Amino acid sequence: MSCYCENLESPGRELTRHVKAGGSVCFVWQCQGCGNRIGQEVARAQLLAQGQDLQAIPDFDVQFAEGQEALRRGRAEQRRNQFFLQQQSEREEFDRRRREHMSSPKWAMLRDKVLKRDGWTCQGCLRGNATQVHHLTYSHLGEELAFQLISLCRECHEKTHHIEAAAP
């Protein structure tokens, strides 16, 4: 596992004794910020050559590392929840504006002009009687340009929305 703090100002590190699953002991650096192990094992011979008292080296703090991981996961979950709440709020606001616009006299006039422009012919199948107007984009909601709208029959309009809903 790598240190989450490696791209930040270093909070410090501590040489620790880590007991592996099989019971063997190794020595590793533990980040004092995130609790994770930093880098490779430190060779026992290297520590002895430096005059280190191996018995004085503290144990790797597993509880600290696990606690920091739980905090990271909690913060990530909180950010995800905030993102989804923001998306939901934006969607609700868009839907409100869309409903308001689609019930306005301005929309009724533009809708009628588009249906007339297309000769009341469905631009999807070119056979059906167009009764609905479809937005190719909502980028100009309330200020649509005529080329962003097409006349469709009910079947083609339903098919168009089914395809849009299935798109990734």
Mean pLDDT of the 4-33 span = 84
Mean pLDDT of the 132-137 span = 96
pLDDT of residue 8: 59
If pLDDT is split at 50, 70 and 90, which confidence band does 167 have? low
- The span from the CA of 164 to the CA of 157, in Å, is 11
How confident is the model over 40-97, as pLDDT tens digits? 999 999 999 999 999 999 999 999 999 999 999 999 999 999 999 999 999 999 999 9
- The span from the CA of 157 to the CA of 119, in Å, is 17
If pLDDT is split at 50, 70 and 90, which confidence band does 128 have? confident
Mean pLDDT of the 131-143 span = 95
C-alpha separations of 143 from 48, 52, 92, 102, 107 in Å: 77, 75, 20, 12, 9
pLDDT of residue 161: 86
